[in-house]
Amino acid sequence: MRKLLLLGAFSLSLYSVKAQDPGVKEMKSTSEKTVAIDTSHKSGWRKGGIFSLNVGQGSSKNWAAGAEKFSFSTAAGLSLFANYRDGKFYWNNNLDLGYAIVNTTSLGNRKTDDKIDYFTKLGHDLTKTLSLSGVVNFRSQFTNGYDYTYLGKDTYKRRTSSFMAPGYLIVAPGLDWHPVPYFSLFVSPISARMVFVTSPWSYYFPDGVIPVDDGGGFEKPLATLYGVDPGQKVRAEMGGFASANFAKEIMKNVTIKSRLDLYSNYLSTYRYTPTGPRQVLKEKLEAKPQNVDVFWTNLISMKVNRFLNVTYNFDLIYDDDVRQFGPENTSAGTQIRSLLSVGFSAKF
């Protein structure tokens, strides 16, 4: 965990000299408006966004070295911002959407990216670099996610996620420090977080009873995969929250946008063990505020010309209540997702 935090801090501290190309300056200015205090914005609304679409295709026939007969991939992303300012009062909004899918002859359709991330910050300036602020953040996804080798079998595909399963909502009052236009640090000592899971009793087998031929026993309800009581559908937490945002052109035509969120739950947690059809044993655990949850999202954009660009997305998540990893699928683990793409982009 310490290495992850150091890596995040290093990434957020990167910066470079200002580029002289007018087009690059415009791209730089647009990206900075989405995360921190826009010093050029004096009053009223300022809105904009970036849309990207990337596709790839491959095919083979009688290829001795072995290759998919056909593959097709597509990835789409939309990043919107709408910022309002009136004197010392400001309201910044960001909506990041992403979806990517790959189709191959042997595997069919598999998604490689699926993201809904809305971040809004309301604040009132106390000084030029410090504000009294409040943050609301919502995260989820569009479609179902699956374990394609459930119980170690390629023919078993179990749903492990969907829209609002999970869904995360954070409400946090605190202080916002913005020493420069491209960086801000928000800190809240007391914040609320809720984790939602719809269809909490979702199983692969009827009523979650695993056949004897597949090892017997009972499946974990979908909600318990995220530390949520299936009978409640939601888990409420109270803890400390911090969010560091960085967006800057680090060299000519290369821009980095990064956000690191840290959450420490002050309350007790629970573990759930399936004991029968639609039945779980609930075990209360001591609070572990030192087990900090991490959400780190990054976008590196390399502009080739007006419409063509190369993008690299890197997301890292650690949630101590998501215990789907390890030899017995009962341990927490660092979740990593990355996507490199080349394609069309349009700014508006």
pLDDT digits (tens, 9 = 90+) for 59-71: 888 787 777 888 8
Structural domains present in the chain: 2-347 (2.40.128)
pLDDT of 35 strictly over 50: no
Look at residue 40 in the predicted model and tell me its pLDDT: 61
Choice between 55 and 187, residue whose per-residue pLDDT is larger: 187
Give the whole-angstrom CA distance, residue 227 versus residue 210.
Answer: 21
SS3 state at 307 = coil
pLDDT of 34 strictly over 50: no
Per-residue confidence band for 86, with pLDDT thresholds at 50, 70 and 90: very high
CB-based contacts of 101-104 (< 8 A; 24+ apart in sequence): 101/73, 101/74, 101/75, 102/71, 102/72, 102/73, 103/70, 103/71, 103/72, 103/73, 104/68, 104/70, 104/71
Provide mean pLDDT across the span 154-173.
95
Look at residue 5 in the predicted model and tell me its pLDDT: 43
Provide mean pLDDT across the span 193-222.
94
Provide mean pLDDT across the span 148-173.
94
Quick one: tokens of 81? 């911002």
pLDDT of 25 strictly over 80: no
Provide mean pLDDT across the span 89-110.
92
Residues 223/200, Cβ–Cβ less than 8 Å: yes
Percentage, residues of the chain above pLDDT 70: 88
Look at residue 211 in the predicted model and tell me its pLDDT: 95
Look at residue 39 in the predicted model and tell me its pLDDT: 55
pLDDT of 289 strictly over 60: yes
Provide mean pLDDT across the span 173-196.
96
Look at residue 38 in the predicted model and tell me its pLDDT: 55
pLDDT of 175 strictly over 60: yes
Per-residue confidence band for 308, with pLDDT thresholds at 50, 70 and 90: confident
* Listed range (31-35, 122-126, 286-290, 328-332) with the worst mean pLDDT: 31-35
Provide mean pLDDT across the span 135-149.
95
Look at residue 26 in the predicted model and tell me its pLDDT: 38
| Burial 146-168, CB ≥16 within 10 A → b, else e | bbeebbeeeeeebbbbbeebbbb
Look at residue 58 in the predicted model and tell me its pLDDT: 85
Give the whole-angstrom CA distance, residue 202 versus residue 163.
Answer: 13
> Residue holding tokens 């947690």?
269
pLDDT of 145 strictly over 80: yes
Residue 64 burial by CB count (10 A; 0-12/13-18/19+): exposed, middle or buried? exposed
pLDDT of 304 strictly over 70: yes
Identify whether 166 is preceded by a cis peptide bond (ω within 30 of 0). Answer: yes
Per-residue confidence band for 137, with pLDDT thresholds at 50, 70 and 90: very high
pTM higher than 0.85: no
Look at residue 4 in the predicted model and tell me its pLDDT: 44
What residues pair up with 344 in beta bridges, in sequence order? 53, 308
Query: How many CB atoms are closer than 10 A to CB 273?
Result: 13
